[in-house]
Structure 1
Amino acid sequence: MSFGQGGPSWGPGGTQTPDWAALADESAARNRRKKWLLIGGGVLATAVVGAIVATAVVSTSNHSSPGTGKNASELPAPTDLPSSTAEPEPSFSSVAPPPPPDPKDYISDVKKDRAPITVDAFFPGKKLTMGDRGYIKGATQQTKSCATTTKGALGSVLVNNGCDQVVRATYSRDGIAVTVGLAVFETQAQAKRAAEQAGGSIAPLSGAGVPAFCPPGSVCRRTANSYGRYAYFAITGYTSGKNVTTADKDAYATGDDLTNFTFRQIRHRGELQASAAATAPVG
């Protein structure tokens, strides 16, 4: 009687005695099956390992030999790189910088206008060139006696408005002479009033190569202006004593050149002081 696969095999006659020969044959057969299964599994594993090694060799060859196999652009892109790179953004102060100093502020009040006042500060050098016209500088003067530098009513106007001092300089060209008188005040308001109230004129200053001009009774051109705490006056005439008329373009051009130059010198004085204040260290 048989008990099926894996069970004991009994011999004939029902003696319940195992058929030892049959059992031995079955055991041998099972061992052979296991052996073949082990051999087959080993072959399969070897084949798989070989395929992996071959794939690794091919991949290494593709990376190490440019121009053969797949191009770099055909290789799968890495997926663990960041999609974008964060960069620092510029930052700006919300506080606006202070405006630059106004040059006129520095020549409008004695408290700010601290640069020295001298003849050379306003009328430097020995010559003056304006465009294509050149002028020779003649006599100069600086005095605190403001009234003595004037003719007619201008003296009292300067004194009544608080004139501190007057700087004069004369220039000449081709028989035409101009004297510019620069009157200094403490405030812009005083200088403006003096220019507006001006009567008479600044007195012509001769000498240093310039003969007397604009004698009493002659007609000369007179001007009055102000800028900041400075009022400036000019008188223009012929050294020959000839009267100046409105048709005398050369006399007018000479007077305009000298008054324009004086204005630029006053303005430049303010620019220098404003620049110095802007670059001065804080604290």
Structure 2
Amino acid sequence: MSFGHGGPFGPGGPDSSTPDWEALADESESRDKRRRWLFIGGGALATVAVAGIVATAVITSNKDNGNNLPHAQQLPDEPDAPKPSFSEVSVPPPPNPRDYITDPKKDTAALTPDTLFPEKSMVIDKRSYPRMTTAATDDCTAGTHGALGSVLKHNGCKKLLRATYSKDGVAVTVGVAVFDSKDAAFKVKDANKPSLAPLAGGGVGAFCEGTACTMYTNATGRYAYFTIAGNLDGSAVTKASTKALQIGRDGGRYAYNRIWQRGTDQAAKAARAQS
């Protein structure tokens, strides 16, 4: 039922003085809204005012360092958070075997036929040749023929070590000459005078005397190394002499391997000492 203007009895009826409740309610609601907004607005102003007071107090406290505020306390600065520290540990690189076969100050291991040629057989790939005899001399010219001796002496050869290996009618003598520097060893290599004297003994007779043989020379670190290989029956080595040519090549590889192993062993020992 509506109580608006012209209520149920029509305009000018006996209830025409009845208040317009909806209008009154609207007006009351409007007043309530105004009061609420004023209250909220006043609260906001109050909040702003309080914030301003607090800000002023804080600023004043900072300026006066608490001297004008009897109840204010100066708080200590917050310490910086601890920072992690890292110790710088420098791990040295592993020793290089080449350094030990190049520098006489590092290359201090015993150097004898037993240490340089310790195996009973020379093994290269699947080929094996028994060791027959060994020798060493401080007079490097004593284990050479021809021009090689003078080249070794001129470049300061300290020692010449030899070993002979033999199998199936052929033999090879491997020679290793020691110097004080890499430069000296490579000068001997570049001279290319590979006339190493073959070493007989241990069941191997003289070979490569007055007949063609295969010879080889090279250098690594402070070592120059040589081979001389031939047929035990005294025949000349030719391109068809596959066994003699093979044992000569294998002798060169074996000499290099043994020198390098010497450096490797000393480097490994130094690495263990560092750990």
Question: Unpaired runs of 5+ in structure 1?
Answer: 1-89
Counterpart of 1:112 in structure 2 is 106
**Which deviates the most, 200-209 or 168-177?**
200-209
Counterpart of 2:122 in structure 1 is 128
Query: Would you say 1:253 and 2:209 are equivalent positions?
Result: no
Counterpart of 1:195 in structure 2 is 189
Cα offset, 1:254, TM superposition: 0.8
Contact 2:162 2:174 in 1 (8 A): yes
For residues 67-106 of structure 1, the aligned pairs below 5 Å read: 96-106=90-100
Counterpart of 1:177 in structure 2 is 171
Counterpart of 1:147 in structure 2 is 141
Cα offset, 1:196, TM superposition: 1.2
Instruction: Name the CA shift for 1:253/1:91 in 2 (closer, same or farther; >3 Å).
Output: farther
Identical amino acids, percent of aligned pairs: 47
Counterpart of 1:220 in structure 2 is 213
**TM-score for both structures, normalised by structure 1:** 0.64
- The DSSP-based 3-state class of the residue aligned with 2:226 is strand
Cα offset, 1:153, TM superposition: 0.2
> May I ask how many residue pairs the two structures share in their alignment?
193
- The DSSP-based 3-state class of the residue aligned with 1:243 is coil
The amino acid across from 1:136 in the alignment is P
The amino acid across from 1:219 in the alignment is A
The amino acid across from 1:99 in the alignment is P
Cα offset, 1:189, TM superposition: 1.0
Counterpart of 2:131 in structure 1 is 137
Larger radius of gyration: 1
Match of 2:273 among 259, 276, 280: 280
The amino acid across from 1:234 in the alignment is T
- The DSSP-based 3-state class of the residue aligned with 1:205 is coil
Question: Unpaired runs of 5+ in structure 2?
Answer: 1-83
Contact 1:171 1:179 in 2 (8 A): yes
Contact 1:119 1:167 in 2 (8 A): yes
**TM-score for both structures, normalised by structure 2:** 0.66
Instruction: Name the CA shift for 1:92/1:268 in 2 (closer, same or farther; >3 Å).
Output: farther
The amino acid across from 1:191 in the alignment is A
The amino acid across from 2:162 in the alignment is R
Alignment deviations for residues 51-71 of structure 1 (CA, whole Å, 9 cap, x no partner): xxxxxxxxxxxxxxxxxxxxx
Contact 1:154 1:201 in 2 (8 A): yes
